Chain A
Amino acid sequence: MEINWIGLWTMVRREIQRLARVPIQAVVAPLISALLFIFIFGFVVGGRIKNFGHFSYLEFVLPGVVMMNVVSASFLQATSQIYFQRFQKSIEEILVSPLSYVEMIGGTVSIVILRSVFTALGILVIGTIFGAVHLQSLPEFLFWVVFVSMIFGFLGIIVALWAKTFEQLNVLMVFFIQPLSMVGGVFNTIGMLPPWLRWLAYGNPLFYFINGLRHSMIGFTEGPATFGAAFTVVLAAVLGAIVWRLYAIGWGLRE
């Protein structure tokens, strides 16, 4: 099947132009949030934690901070893009165009990935200022950023198609994603949890994402890395297939 590359690029170009109208929300806010996390948890609190294996506490925390921001940026990008287009009805511009469903989804997810990679690299730059950046494997780092942003991009699309109000856009983020991020090993090792709580970490998808990214940066892992990567790819594929199906039947898109 012939791919409409110009159409795909137009979707990306258009969204970049939209984001350029809200630079504080799109670019500055996640970087300031990361800066504060790094400063307080890594520098101020972490400065008093001396015994953390071969790494400083800041080096341990930084991958978690990157992952939290990647998750947040990708989810918010997808929900705001799709929901606002639905709200303004400008989504109809896409629906009447000769774009396949895969291209429509691909255009949305491409900008999600771009924004997440940009956010992740921005945080690395801030981390470098604090002397806390180690990058053991750049391809592995990019694998985690790209696949996790795809997962939360797909979830964001599903929520944006389902939502009838702005309030509903936040439900998944507030009640699931943020709590799971916090207990997914951003600030502590799983070994620091009481044994009866560890099952919660191993059953938490966010743990595998954070653990994987941490491995790509400082080489430290607390879980089965291959299982984590395979789980992430399968989850992205399953969510991608669900989104494709929703586009094909027009759920939340076409009347």
Chain B
Amino acid sequence: MTPALEISHLRKVYRSGTVAVEDVSLTIQPGDFFGFLGPNGAGKSTTIHCITGISNPTSGTIRIFGVDAVADYRQARKLVGLSPQEFNVDPFANARNIVDWMGGYFGMRSAERKKRVDMLIERFELVPHAGKPFRELSGGLKRRVILARAMVNDPKLLILDEPTAGVDVELRMDLWRYLQELNRDGTTILLTSHYLEEIERLCKTIAIVAKGRIVRNGPKEEFFTEPGGLEKAYLAATGKAADHVAVGA
């Protein structure tokens, strides 16, 4: 079966000389719910930027459902939806327009787009806020708009970069339910998060990245059969276990 995402020896060096991703290789199977864990600056967001076209990879290959994300970028982009960590929108535009424009960029026809935008606005409880400028929304509402925008093209691969950072418990729980529904319906999801509980609850496969390399990768069960579970495995894999023990002592 063609993997949903196949990254081979990805390396990203910024113009400043900073090596953000040293050597990342991973494969995500269709239908997987993939957790991508790592400390700040480990290379998670840069990897996502390379997958989605926000950054140019320095070397390595990225294939999305078999389509090369660099050579055949238009085809590859059609398959992906991205909810980035930062709010990358026009702050003066209203919520409905933000979602609608993204549908337009993906070539969705007006009627189809309206139906989809209406559904997402309702699904994310944005109806009373749809006409308000983005900058006037609360942090949680802004996050909902970004999530609705990521899903407007009904992507086969949904990439969520810390989607629940700064949102209230209610939205977090609601989003978890919705993501599980989407995943059950066949959407492959790549999720980064600093909440281990979130990864534990949602993901089927987990990869841990540290200093630009994948240091651990496997089915969720592998991590939970170990003493200390995911937290201990995470700290050990990222080289933080010793510090953790020292602080604890």
Residue ranges of A at the interface with B (Cβ–Cβ < 8 Å): 4-7, 9-11, 13-14, 17-18, 21, 85, 88-90, 92-100, 249-250, 254-255
B206: Cβ under 8 A from any A Cβ: no
Assess the A7–B106 pair: CB atoms within 8 A: yes
The 3 closest A-B pairs by CB, nearest first: A10-B104, A97-B105, A89-B88
Assess the A10–B101 pair: CB atoms within 8 A: yes
Chain A residues whose C-beta falls within 8 Å of the C-beta of B53 in the assembled complex: 95-96, 254
Residue ranges of B at the interface with A (Cβ–Cβ < 8 Å): 14, 49, 52-56, 74-75, 77-78, 80, 82, 84, 86, 88-93, 97, 101-102, 104-109, 149
Expressed in whole angstroms, the minimum distance between the Cβ of B42 and any Cβ of chain A is: 16
Beyond A98-B107, A255-B49, 13 additional pairs, beta carbon < 8 A: A5-B107, A6-B108, A7-B104, A7-B106, A11-B105, A14-B101, A18-B90, A85-B90, A88-B90, A93-B88, A94-B105, A99-B105, A254-B55
Q: How far, in whole Å, are A18 and B106 apart by their CA atoms in the complex?
A: 20
Q: How far, in whole Å, are A98 and B82 apart by their CA atoms in the complex?
A: 13
The one of A21, A88, A254 that contacts B89, using a Cβ cutoff of 8 Å? A88
Assess the B104–A90 pair: CB atoms within 8 A: no
Expressed in whole angstroms, the minimum distance between the Cβ of B226 and any Cβ of chain A is: 36
Given A13-B104, A97-B105, A255-B49, the answer on whether A92 and B84 have CB atoms closer than 8 Å is yes
**B56, B80, B106, B107, most chain A CB atoms within 10 A:** B107
Name 25 interchain pairs, CB-CB below 8 A, sorted by A: A6-B107, A7-B104, A7-B107, A10-B105, A18-B90, A21-B92, A88-B89, A90-B89, A92-B54, A92-B88, A93-B149, A94-B105, A95-B52, A95-B54, A96-B52, A96-B54, A97-B102, A98-B78, A98-B107, A249-B56, A254-B53, A254-B56, A255-B49, A255-B55, A255-B56
Interface majority SS (helix, strand, loop, mixed), chain A: helix
Chain A residues whose C-beta falls within 8 Å of the C-beta of B14 in the assembled complex: 255
Assess the B102–A89 pair: CB atoms within 8 A: no
Q: How far, in whole Å, are A94 and B56 apart by their CA atoms in the complex?
A: 15
Chain A residues whose C-beta falls within 8 Å of the C-beta of B89 in the assembled complex: 88, 90, 93
Question: Count of A-B contacts with CB under 8 A?
Answer: 83
Q: How far, in whole Å, are A255 and B43 apart by their CA atoms in the complex?
A: 14
Assess the B97–A17 pair: CB atoms within 8 A: yes
Q: How far, in whole Å, are A116 and B144 apart by their CA atoms in the complex?
A: 37
Expressed in whole angstroms, the minimum distance between the Cβ of A14 and any Cβ of chain B is: 5
Assess the A90–B105 pair: CB atoms within 8 A: no
Given A95-B53, A255-B49, A255-B55, the answer on whether A100 and B74 have CB atoms closer than 8 Å is yes
- A14: nearest chain-B partner, CB-CB: B101
Expressed in whole angstroms, the minimum distance between the Cβ of B66 and any Cβ of chain A is: 16
Chain B residues whose C-beta falls within 8 Å of the C-beta of A11 in the assembled complex: 105
- B113: nearest chain-A partner, CB-CB: A6
Chain A residues whose C-beta falls within 8 Å of the C-beta of B90 in the assembled complex: 18, 85, 88, 90
The one of A9, A18, A249 that contacts B104, using a Cβ cutoff of 8 Å? A9
Assess the B101–A93 pair: CB atoms within 8 A: yes
Expressed in whole angstroms, the minimum distance between the Cβ of A149 and any Cβ of chain B is: 23
Assess the B54–A97 pair: CB atoms within 8 A: no
Expressed in whole angstroms, the minimum distance between the Cβ of B150 and any Cβ of chain A is: 9
Q: How far, in whole Å, are A144 and B149 apart by their CA atoms in the complex?
A: 40
**A9, A21, A88, most chain B CB atoms within 10 A:** A88
Expressed in whole angstroms, the minimum distance between the Cβ of B100 and any Cβ of chain A is: 8
Chain B residues whose C-beta falls within 8 Å of the C-beta of A7 in the assembled complex: 104-107
Chain B residues whose C-beta falls within 8 Å of the C-beta of A6 in the assembled complex: 104, 107-109
Assess the A93–B107 pair: CB atoms within 8 A: no
**B56, B105, B108, most chain A CB atoms within 10 A:** B105
Q: How far, in whole Å, are A17 and B131 apart by their CA atoms in the complex?
A: 14
Q: How far, in whole Å, are A54 and B206 apart by their CA atoms in the complex?
A: 81
Expressed in whole angstroms, the minimum distance between the Cβ of B133 and any Cβ of chain A is: 10
Q: How far, in whole Å, are A99 and B104 apart by their CA atoms in the complex?
A: 11
